[in-house]
Amino acid sequence: MRSALELARLGPVADPNPRVGAVIADAAGQVVGRGYHRGAGSPHAEVVALAEAGSAARGGTAVVTLEPCDHTGRTGPCSVALVDAGVAQVVYAQSDPNPMAAGGTARLRAAGVAVEAGPLADEAAALNRSWSFAVAAGRPRVVWKFAATLDGRSAAADGSSRWITGPAARADVHRLRAEAGAVLVGTGTVLADDPRLTVRGPDGTPVDRQPLRVVMGERDLPPRSRVLDGAAETWHARSRDPSTVLRQLFDRGIRRVWLEGGPTLAATFLADRLVDEVVAYLAPTLLGGGPPAVADLGTTTLGQALRLRLDEVTTLGPDLRVRATPTDGRGS
């Protein structure tokens, strides 16, 4: 299973489908096939591994990080492929939470294949955290990122914000941004900061796969805005309703949204309980004025505060990265 998980990690992080790895052992226990899912529309991990194994798969064991699917989409059901290949046993780590694809174990057992829930289920689930959340919630998992001074300011009084944090923190932002299917800001951020919202590598050049750039709001964008530069696909979501926009993104195959909007947009998502993780970059700097990281949440007393569970604190050069989860039961 450890080998299958390593294979799964080779798949694309941002994809409508989960990352899955598969290893096929023959009847004598020798590995004869390996495979992983390379992205939407490509053969599933089990099919790739079975193709490599050939006839040696008959009577053998398939070890898979996710329960084999029983769904016909752009590719056929993996459960059928395993039955046709004549495997005697299937061991999987994570159960499939997708009701459209679930049922693979039932088909396998009905065909006489021994099926067993195997080890490393938690690691397999963590590999597809956003995908699993999105399947269950019917919307993408939202990660809100912000950079601020220690006194909670996202910019100075004159609006300047470049750069609050240092190079190590900014590089980390690009690394995590690359894991998202979409980067979302409001029209106010585009008008004030004219961000590019692309992912750049350590040398400053754009990477090959770029997340969808989403600008949410009803105001028109200046034709020369950098989000319209063609460096990545951009969608202007002319809506002020986060739930509507997230549903539309889910329908487009987006499973993880990296929310980089300003204080007002962040407050809107937070007030609607649509932030599932917070990633905060804190610089050892004090401003004493300027806009806060988040606008008014409508709380008038400490008892109404949105509480977070502290998950991780990491030092990045002189800055801190804090990862936290809302504790209202909806974050994952």
**Which band of pLDDT confidence, cut at 50, 70 and 90, is reported for residue 100?**
low
Token pair, residue 299, equals 């709380």
- Same fold for the pair 1-131 and 139-326: no
The pLDDT of residue 115: 95
Is pLDDT above 80 for 302? yes
308, 324 contact by CB (below 8 A): yes
Mean pLDDT of 21-39: 96
Q: What is the pLDDT of residues 183-214, one digit of tens each?
A: 999 999 999 889 999 998 888 888 888 999 99
Give the Cα separation of 320 and 136 in Å (integer): 32
136 in Cβ contact with 255 (< 8 Å):
no
Banded model confidence at residue 163, pLDDT cuts 50, 70, 90? confident
Domain 1-131 sits in CATH 3.40.5.10: no
Every domain of the chain and the residues it spans: 1-131, 139-326
CA distance 39 to 45: 10
**Is 197 assigned a ligand-binding role in the annotation?**
yes
Do residues 149 and 286 touch, judged by C-beta distance below 8 A?
yes
Would you state the pLDDT for residue 332?
A: 47
Residue 330: band (very low, low, confident or very high) from pLDDT cuts 50, 70, 90: very low
From the list 203, 18, 204, the residue with the least C-alpha distance to 127 is 18
C-alpha to C-alpha distance for 23 and 92, rounded to whole angstroms: 11
> Mean of the per-residue pLDDT values for the chain?
92
Length of the chain: 332
Q: Is 69 annotated as a binding residue?
A: yes
Which residues are CB-contacts of 292 (< 8 A; sequence separation ≥ 6)? 148, 152, 153, 154, 263
- Residue 72: is its pLDDT beyond 80? no
Residue 242's pLDDT band (cuts 50, 70, 90): very high
193 is in an annotated binding site: yes
The DSSP bridge pattern shows strands 319-326 and 308-316 to be antiparallel
Distance CA 119, CA 154 (A): 44
- Classify domain 139-326 at the CATH topology level: Dihydrofolate Reductase, subunit A (3.40.430)
Whether 200 has a binding-site annotation, put simply, is yes
78 appears as a binding residue in the annotation: yes
Q: Which residue has the tokens 């950098």?
A: 226
Q: Would the annotation count 44 as a binding residue?
A: yes
Residue 329: which pLDDT band, with cuts at 50, 70 and 90? very low
pLDDT tens-digit readout, 103-137: 789 999 999 999 999 999 999 999 999 999 999 89
Residues 271-290 pLDDT 10s: 999 999 999 999 999 999 99
Catalytic residues: 46
Task: Tell me which DSSP letter residue 328 carries.
Answer: S
Does 236 carry a binding-site annotation?
Answer: no
